Structure 1
Amino acid sequence: MGNQRVARDYYGILGVEQGADAAELKRAYRRLARELHPDVNPDPAAQERFAEISTAYEVLTDPEKRRIVDLGGDPLDNGRGGGGAAGDPFSAFGFGDIMDAFFGGSAGGRGRGPRSRVQPGADALIRMQLTLEECATGVQRELTVDTAVLCTECGGNGCAPGTSPQGCETCGGRGEVQSVQRSFLGQVVTSRPCPTCRGLGEVIPEPCRICAGDGRVRSRRSVGVRIPAGVADGMRVRLAGQGEVGAGGGPAGDLYVEVEEIAHEVFERDGADLHVRLPLPMTAAALGATLPLPMLDGTTEDLHVEPGTQGGTLRTLRGKGMPRLRSTGRVDGYGDLVVHVDVAVPTRLDKEQTELLRQLAKLRGEEQPDLTTRNNGHGLFGRLRDSFRG
């Protein structure tokens, strides 16, 4: 049992958890591909690593192969995905691994083969500033984006018109070359990506003069986007297939439009709720009033202030806030508008106003405020005194 082979950790190769969904696998693969792709990283070690993540991505995006991985097997290990019970009678003892080491995999016929020139494109991100009003109503805009697009000269194959790729003479189209080393066990054959074709198995003798063989070019274009009502700061709208075109004319990634909400001068947002501070004159707070309260949409709403309203009072207007955005992009009701009442005490009084307030204080017996008594006979200091006595 000591020679039994442990199945490759395809999840670990991509750096994802076992329960990762298709979107997570795609993001992990693209993140690593941007670092390890031979077009940007010529290091042979990076090329081998790129081949590993490409294989892992291929396996985990295939439902049947992924099922074998989740059962503890390896779908690329000569039929040992079922745990060695069927297919290869020597699999439980790692016989295929020994053959690989001494004969370079020829006995099992499991060469990795050339990788595809066509690679999936990366996602792109653009930020859009919106006012609170625009977040409430939604907008339709045309955005200017600068991304990689399909080369119209070669149609994505990277070849000059009238030419086509040719098989690599160095590796014979296999995409990898082998080297033989001697050890105390005998000859050991190892494989690595072909340095001439970079593992593609083919070369382009006459690259396209526009894209230099990449199959894509940078271009500025306009893209229409509809931002739904109810979006908030940091939310993203996905435009499928509007991102970067992949190398070799591969399928384009997605374009994400991220919302940057501009702070409002009057309203403060908390999810679907809006908050506003209302500076209420002292006289209106004492006598009560009906005030026209401006709404976000430009209309007004009558706000009834009861006599004797205190500072810090909250008044909630149901359904007068922001639209509630569902995951489907549809509006599901509205939040509330919360009014914070601030009683404004005058800081400057003329002689007549001062005299009137003094008369009011005299009528209410408040010329000299008494902090020890209240209507119930127990003021602030009275309660403190009682607490010590108790």
Structure 2
Amino acid sequence: MKTTPAVNSAKVFSIELHSGLFLNTSFEYSRTSKRTKRKSIVGSSSTSSISSILCSSMGFDYYAILDIPRDASDVDIRLAYRKLAVRCHPGNDFHYPPALPFPTMSREQYWELLNEAFDVLSNSLRKRIYDIYGEEGLKSGVVTPHGFQEAYVFSNDCMKIYKDFFATYSPYGDLIDAVTKPPPLCLDDRTTVKVKGPDMEEFVDLELEEIFHGTTKKMQILREEFVDETQVETVLVEETVRVPIQPGVTSGTKIRFEEAGDRNPKIIPSDIVFVVREKDHPLFSRDKADLHMIMPITLKQSLVGFPLKIVGIDGRQLMTEVVDVVHPEYTKIFKGEGLPKVDSTKVPKPRGDLCVSFKIDYPDFIPKRIREQLKEIFDDLYSIEKPCV
């Protein structure tokens, strides 16, 4: 056995070839300089061909450390690191140590080289410098079109690199995730992940009276159903679904039926969602639990008052006497005559208000004689002193 001369003063690192021919390699690590010194003890056979394949004059072959070709993509680099980092993680307690690309190397040695290789090749700038100038150029610094690129120094913080990649220090992180957050169900052949289908939405149109009282709507749906227990073939069926409507429900409310959608061997049944949609009412409009209506009155009624009779949403007749002067902003409020407050937990549910505003019908023409009379009436009206409050 004899030692081959080093190509340069930086000492040559030799690694196992994919063909099975390898060099016996020993390592010495200098923690103070954070640079790795390498010694290579080479067998007597095919020394020159081995050196040419390994490109040992350029230092470490980071691609061979990750067990990937030099034209590997970014995804290939990450996948290789993911596989090998878990295998040689110092926290892994294997009864039978897993196979690594270089059996002559200890797990601790390979762990540091693996993280250094990934630290270089996962960074586009460092990878490009390494591809062109090799390890010596990377660790000595090179001149680029954008200026001098400082020398790369490996941090030796392998656990930080591991954590940045896996978001955990633990080598059992994937196993813990699988227990705490189990993956979706799989098919029997375990080749396809079953995902839940998108929601099937359907509108439920409601009259305001239905919203006031609450009701149950019968809705017809068409969906795919399994023919038999083998759950392979499906057939289109029509079903009636009873949709409960709570008193006072608001427009846009979604009523969900879990996994009531189409059956299919490759998907989890979707949810059927009924969306409440309120129909227009000829008399009332809605603002949450309050109801609003507009009543036309004459100019005379607006000035001298009138009896107000209306039918509420519940069918009862509401009566009151309007004695105030009705101006355009005037509103008569009937307390507690609106819709039930759906969010209330009280029984019976409290109700909103019924707000009545007025549209005054002004005459299109007033004869001169009447205008003179009105003028005298209004002069007398405005001459009267207002009572002290």
Return the TM-score normalized by structure 2. Answer: 0.47
TM-score (norm 1): 0.47
Higher gyration radius (CA): 2
Structure possessing the higher relative contact order (Cα contacts under 8 Å, 6 or more residues apart) = 1
